[in-house]
Structure formats: structure tokens, C-alpha cells
Structure 1
Amino acid sequence: MAEKIDRQEVKHVADLAKLSFDDAALDKITPQLEEIIDLFTDLQKVDTDGVEPMYTPTTEHNVMREDKGVQSGQRDELLANAPETHDGLIKVPAIIDESEDGE
């Protein structure tokens, strides 16, 4: 078992992570964090000599295709489903205010 962790250390770590907990939550989290740290202590005891590092648990590879536009011939059908269009494009509400008046 690792060194005992007290509530002050847990509160300090929470503050570093920009988290805030009330007293009840600190009482619950403190032993949980201690158990997690104990797991790392157990892992440090495992003999990994001769074990090759592993970057993924599977041997599968992600196959990517070239990202290129394809003419689907469905422009009219797409525009027919849009709530509003203008000059062959889908019209959407503005989300960036460029008026520079701050409103």
C-alpha cells in the first residue's frame, strides 16, 4: 500500500485541476484516489523485462481513402430539403456578428 493520502492533498490536486468539491465529496474521493494510486504501485511491481512496447491492442490498421469531392447529381434533391436557399446554396442564419458595434 502506498503512502496515505489526506484530504488536503486531494483538495490540492482538485484545485490544480480547477475542480471544487464539498466536504462530503472530499471524504468520498480521498479513499478512491488512494486506491487508484495503489493500483499504480501494483503495476510497478510487474516484471516487464523482455516485453515489447505496444501502441495499440489490435493488429488492425485504419485504411484511409483520398478525400476528394464527387459529383452526386443530387443537388436539386438536396436543395429541395433545405428550409431556405439562395442562388443554388443553402441559406443559414448568421452566427458571427461582423457589425463591430458589440451587439
Structure 2
Amino acid sequence: MERSEIKHIADIAQIDFTDDELDKFQENFSETFELIDNIRKIDTENLETTFQVNDTVNNLREDEAHASLSQEDAIRNTLDEKYGYFKIIKFVE
């Protein structure tokens, strides 16, 4: 990746870099793109697809419905309620 391209991306992101930092980024970007190019060259045409590479088993529990609080119990200790719901400060215009 060219230094000018890195500077352009940094300008878009409003990040200021010193000349030394830009040199290091250029080096790192070049190494990263070389690695990506090497990965792209790998022939994966006849490989079996895989979801995960270790023997981890899904350890999530089944979703089960249980009794929950009534609306009255849920808002019982609130500082402010409106129409049976929590009243909160509007902070988005």
C-alpha cells in the first residue's frame, strides 16, 4: 500500500500521524496485504466446509418459559412510572 493511500485513509478518519508512524503503517499494511494475497492463493475448491475446528459442543441451555414478574411488581420500586411502564428521560432527539 502506498504511503499516499495510507495518508488519505488517515485523513478520512481524522487521524494525524507523524512521518515515522506513516512509515511503520506502510510496512505493516504491506505485510498484511501480502498475507491476504497468500491466503487468496490457497486452493480451497475441493475442501469440505467446516463450521469450527475444535470439538467444542454447543453448551447453551434450552429456552424454557418460566413465570415472571407482573407488570405491577416490575414497576413497584421505580422512581417514576407512566401508563404502567418505567418513565425514563428522553435523551435522543
**TM-score bucket (shorter structure):** 0.5 to 0.7
Name structure 1 gaps, 5 residues minimum. Answer: 98-103
- Supply the distance in 2 between the matched residues of 1:57 and 1:87 (Cα, whole angstroms): 48
Indicate the residue corresponding to 1:39 in structure 2.
Answer: 35
Cα drift, residue 84 of structure 1: 1.0
Pair 1:9–1:75, CA change in 2 (3 A)? closer
Pair 1:77–1:27, CA change in 2 (3 A)? same
Q: 1:21 aligns with which of 16, 25, 30?
A: 16
- Supply the distance in 2 between the matched residues of 1:9 and 1:77 (Cα, whole angstroms): 59
Pair 1:71–1:87, CA change in 2 (3 A)? farther
Q: 2:70 aligns with which of 61, 69, 74?
A: 74
4+ residue runs over 3 A deviation:
56-60, 70-73, 94-97
Query: What TM-score, normalized by structure 1, do the two folds share?
Result: 0.54
Cα drift, residue 46 of structure 1: 1.9
The Cα RMSD (Å) is: 3.6
Aligned-pair identity (%): 21
- Supply the distance in 2 between the matched residues of 1:84 and 1:91 (Cα, whole angstroms): 6
What is the aligned length? 86
Per-residue CA deviations over 1:53-75 (Å, capped at 9, x if unaligned) read: 55x43796xxxx7xxxx973522
Name structure 2 gaps, 5 residues minimum. Answer: none
